[in-house]
Structure 1
Amino acid sequence: MADTAAANTVALRAAAELAEYVETVGVNKASLPARSAVVLGVLAGIFIGLGSMVYTMVTSDPTLGFAARQLLGGLSFCVGLVLVVVAGAELLTGNILMTLAWASGKLRFSDLARDWSRVALANLVGAVLLAVIVLYSGTLGLNRGLVATHALEIAAKKDSLPYLTAFFSAVLCNLLVCLAVWLAYAGRTVTDKILAVLFPITVFVACGFEHCVADMYFLPLGLMLKASGVTGAGMAAVTPGASLLHLLVVIAGNIVGGGLLVGLMYHWAYRARPATA
Structure 2
Amino acid sequence: MPTILAIPFRREYPSFPRPLEVEVGRGGGRLSEADIEIGDHPRADLPGQACDQLGNQMDLGAGQILVLGFLAGVFIAFGSIAFLVVMAVPEGAVPFGILQAAAGLAFSGGLLLVIVAGAELFTGNTLMLGRWYAGQSPLSAILKAWAPAWIGNLAGSIFVVALFIAAGGHEAGEGLLASAALDTGGEKTAKGAGAIFASGILANMLVCLAVWMTFAARTVQGKIIALVPPIATFVAAGLEHSVANMSLIPMGLAMVWLGEPGADPALTMGGLLVNLLWSTLGNIVGGGIIAAAYWFSYDREA
> Do both share a fold (TM > 0.5)?
yes
Checking the alignment, whether the CA contact within 8 Å between 1:150 and 1:232 is kept in structure 2 is: no
Q: Tell me what 1:180 maps to.
A: 210
Q: Tell me what 2:45 maps to.
A: 17
Counterpart AA for 2:183: E
- Secondary structure in structure 1 of the residue aligned to 2:123: helix
Q: Distance in 2 between matches of 1:30 and 1:220?
A: 29
**1:163 aligns to 2:193 (yes or no):** yes
Deviation at 1:271, TM superposition (A): 2.1
Counterpart AA for 1:244: L
Deviation at 1:212, TM superposition (A): 0.3
Q: How do 1:69-148 residues align onto structure 2 when only pairs under 5 Å count?
A: 69-148=99-178
Q: Tell me what 1:272 maps to.
A: 300
Kindly name which structure, 1 or 2, has the bigger radius of gyration based on alpha carbons. Answer: 2
The normalised TM-score by structure 2 is: 0.87
Cα deviation digits, residues 117-158 of structure 1 (max 9, x gap): 110000000001011011111221111111011101211111
Q: Distance in 2 between matches of 1:114 and 1:51?
A: 27
Per the alignment, do residues 11 and 152 of structure 1 end up closer, same or farther by CA in structure 2, a change over 3 Å counting? Answer: same
Q: Tell me what 1:258 maps to.
A: 287
Counterpart AA for 1:29: Q
Q: Distance in 2 between matches of 1:81 and 1:174?
A: 12
Deviation at 1:3, TM superposition (A): 4.6
Q: Tell me what 1:198 maps to.
A: 228
Checking the alignment, whether the CA contact within 8 Å between 2:76 and 2:244 is kept in structure 1 is: yes
Q: Distance in 2 between matches of 1:4 and 1:265?
A: 35
Residue in structure 2 matching 1:249, options 274, 278, 285: 278
Q: Give 1 or 2: higher helix fraction.
A: 1
Deviation at 1:5, TM superposition (A): 3.2
Q: Tell me what 1:31 maps to.
A: 59
Report the identity percentage: 38
Q: Distance in 2 between matches of 1:264 and 1:4?
A: 36
- Secondary structure in structure 2 of the residue aligned to 1:140: helix
Checking the alignment, whether the CA contact within 8 Å between 2:256 and 2:263 is kept in structure 1 is: no
Residue in structure 1 matching 2:73, options 37, 41, 45: 45
Unaligned runs of 5+ in 1: none
Q: Distance in 2 between matches of 1:38 and 1:233?
A: 33
- Secondary structure in structure 2 of the residue aligned to 1:237: coil
Q: CA RMSD in A?
A: 1.4
Q: Tell me what 1:65 maps to.
A: 95
The normalised TM-score by structure 1 is: 0.94
Checking the alignment, whether the CA contact within 8 Å between 2:108 and 2:232 is kept in structure 1 is: yes
- Secondary structure in structure 1 of the residue aligned to 2:226: helix
Checking the alignment, whether the CA contact within 8 Å between 2:51 and 2:128 is kept in structure 1 is: yes
